[in-house]
Structure 1
Amino acid sequence: MLALPALLAAGSARAQNRPLQVVVPFPPGGTSDLVARIIQPDVQRALGQAVVIDNRGGAAGHLGADHVAKSAPDGTTVLLTDPGILTTGPSLFAKLPYDPAKDLDPVTMLIYAPYVLAVHPSVPAASGAELAAYVRANPGKINFAHSGVGALNHLTALVAVQHWGGTVTEIFYRGGMLGIQAAVTNESQMVVNGATATLPFVKDGRLRALAVTGPRRLADLPDVPTFAELGWPAAEAGIWQGLLAPAGTPPGTIARLYDAFTTALDLPATRTRLADLGAGARAEGPESFRRWLAAETQSWSSVIRARGIRLD
């Protein structure tokens, strides 16, 4: 027993000498990946430790999350993700291979970016109201790209389309960026995804933005109304990004990770780059993040149950 503190300290020192594996459970190019790569150099400097980004896409993000949940709680593996997958998974699956509430320890929330609902320029709709009318008049004609049944961008679009009184043809892609690319090439005609990944394609004219979620219009899209202005549901949905570690990670290690990632977020250059992508830093501590996860899980579970959505 007397040797235990020394053993723990030695283990922590060995872990700090190994690279930090930041698992992004989606393919490269999406919001989680962009955020990870923006802050990677500054996190490395803050930790004094190499940081490696590991893209593990699949199962709407659950493959990567499961990998982290089953990793050693020694501070060498963390999950950087849209935590929405953790709040919907328990309601969508009878049994996940991991328990998001028990097998992952929150470290910090990182950023929030609203969703942008965008369409291919060939869609004959110049506003959200015109899109809703077009969808009603043309059942199933619009292909809607999403990153997985039950993903928050899927649920957000689903409740909006139901509010319009129409139907779309849903097409699943293995990540948000792949869905955006499908809309750009007109393989799909509508996409709902984070502003961080979507704005570049709106700015260069390859997509047309018709609505955004969140409490206010985006500075880069001042003429595009919010869901709330249009009277659409899911007005506060969006892309959150958070950092989690395997359950049982020592509090001191959690604190070290929190300090490094929030230090990187707080740098003016980082905040500017995030703002240019329509995102804002939203650093919150472990307990605040844990409460957010619990509240979101309860909120979205009622939506999922009401619509009878299941993935097993």
Structure 2
Amino acid sequence: MNKRLRKPALTTLAIAAGVVLGTVSFGAAAQNFERTVRIVVPYAPGGTSDTVARILAQPLGEALGQTVVVENKPGAAGNIGADSVAKAAKDGHTYLLADVGSLATAPALFPDLSYKLADLAPVSMVMFSPYVLAVNKDLPVKSVAELIDYAKANPGKLAVANSGVGGVNHIVAVSIAKQLGIEWKTVPYRGGSAATQAVVSGESKAIFNGATATLPFVVNGQMRGLAVSGDERIASIPDVPTFAQSKLPNADVGSWQGIVTTAGSPPALVNKFNAAVTEILKRPEVIDRIKQQGGKVIGGKPEELGTWLTTNAASWGKVIADAGIKAQ
């Protein structure tokens, strides 16, 4: 499943990343950004990817010497936005900031996908945000054990929201239900923000979602947090145990935010963009802002993200096949 980003040596796997994922064209001549730079977020405003993009946009504009705008293109579990970047001009001025886990799952979920991973070139990992398992505040459960009991007593009735069919939080909900031997109803929405709001309102009853988008509602009591993924509890909700402590499977899942661009883009611009992101992610105020929202800065070089995507496309593909998950 998702593994922590490591700094790989030039191994067979790293070489494979260059085969499976798009690379930049070293024949390109552009050396500087010449006009507005777009960051496409393939989800609706308010979710984790959107939040991270807006944290980075202004300092990126200052570093690149051009205006950086965030453009939301939601739909099809992020594939509409990803497709638009895959088919954009190969000029290094269009980027995709997304949960790269969804990019890794797309090939296994969508046999008729309108783009290939090879159409996108990795730029940088940005951050990891653990998942929060949260429920509507009026649902009569206060722990994971009670949620499981409730689901067993109401087979097929508990509505679990997700950011779209094929999104990682959808796959996680299906996979966990199968491993626990329970049955609940997964309900897709147009992005993590809409899914979270559905649980707050009671339209759906539970959600697995990135902490960045979900924590505010748990902290202010609009939802009840039951468990968090990752290695440790989150400081702002210290009473909420980890998945492992709650005996939930898939303990290492989460929202991995990364940046890719159109394959064939000028290497000088891709490298400048990566360098700017790397510098911004070292700033204490950025680290603190991401930490306050339950995230952890990761960063890294393009080839490291390429290796991560290659590895996770294989591991998630197996999870999808084993769980029998199919995009509707």
TM-score class, shorter:
over 0.9
SS at match of 2:299: strand
Separation of aligned partners in 2, 1:160 and 1:18: 46
Separation of aligned partners in 2, 1:39 and 1:271: 11
Separation of aligned partners in 1, 2:298 and 2:61: 20
Separation of aligned partners in 1, 2:102 and 2:191: 12
Separation of aligned partners in 2, 1:164 and 1:223: 23
In the alignment, is residue 221 of structure 1 matched against residue 234 of structure 2? no
Task: Determine which of 87, 95, 112 is the counterpart of 2:112.
Answer: 95
Q: Deviations over 1:166-185 (max 9, x none)?
A: 21122110101000000000
Partner residue, 1:212: 228
SS at match of 1:229: coil
Q: Deviations over 1:48-86 (max 9, x none)?
A: 110010000000000000000001121110000001111
Partner residue, 1:3: none
In the alignment, is residue 246 of structure 1 matched against residue 259 of structure 2? no
Separation of aligned partners in 1, 2:284 and 2:246: 34
SS at match of 2:174: helix
How far 1:112 sits from its partner (Å)?
Answer: 0.3
Separation of aligned partners in 1, 2:120 and 2:168: 20
Q: Deviations over 1:146-186 (max 9, x none)?
A: 11222110111222222332211221101010000000000
Task: Trace 1:1-312 onto structure 2 (pairs within 5 A).
Answer: 9=29, 11-13=30-32, 16-100=33-117, 102-311=118-327
Q: Which runs of 5+ in 2 are unaligned?
A: 1-26
Q: 1:24·1:57 contact (CA, 8 Å) conserved in 2?
A: yes
Separation of aligned partners in 1, 2:235 and 2:282: 20
Count of paired positions: 302
Separation of aligned partners in 2, 1:112 and 1:239: 6
SS at match of 2:245: helix
Q: Deviations over 1:218-255 (max 9, x none)?
A: 11121111111222211111001001010011221111
Q: 1:110·1:282 contact (CA, 8 Å) conserved in 2?
A: yes
AA at the equivalent of 1:166 = I
Separation of aligned partners in 1, 2:305 and 2:279: 17
AA at the equivalent of 2:174 = L
AA at the equivalent of 1:78 = Y
AA at the equivalent of 2:261 = A
Separation of aligned partners in 1, 2:62 and 2:35: 14
Q: 1:153·1:193 contact (CA, 8 Å) conserved in 2?
A: yes
Separation of aligned partners in 2, 1:157 and 1:220: 24
Separation of aligned partners in 2, 1:228 and 1:249: 42
SS at match of 1:210: strand
Query: What TM-score does the superposition give when structure 1 sets the normalisation length?
Result: 0.94
How far 1:266 sits from its partner (Å)?
Answer: 1.3
Q: 1:108·1:289 contact (CA, 8 Å) conserved in 2?
A: yes
Separation of aligned partners in 2, 1:311 and 1:12: 41
AA at the equivalent of 1:72 = A
Report which structure shows greater RCO (CA 8 Å, sep ≥6).
Answer: 2
Q: Deviations over 1:81-112 (max 9, x none)?
A: 00111111111111211101x11000000000
Q: 1:136·1:164 contact (CA, 8 Å) conserved in 2?
A: no
Separation of aligned partners in 2, 1:224 and 1:189: 18
Identity between Structure 1 and Structure 2 (%): 46
SS at match of 1:219: coil
Separation of aligned partners in 1, 2:233 and 2:171: 21
Separation of aligned partners in 2, 1:143 and 1:309: 17
Separation of aligned partners in 1, 2:28 and 2:125: 27
Q: Which runs of 5+ in 1 are unaligned?
A: 1-6
Separation of aligned partners in 2, 1:186 and 1:230: 24
How far 1:8 sits from its partner (Å)?
Answer: 5.2
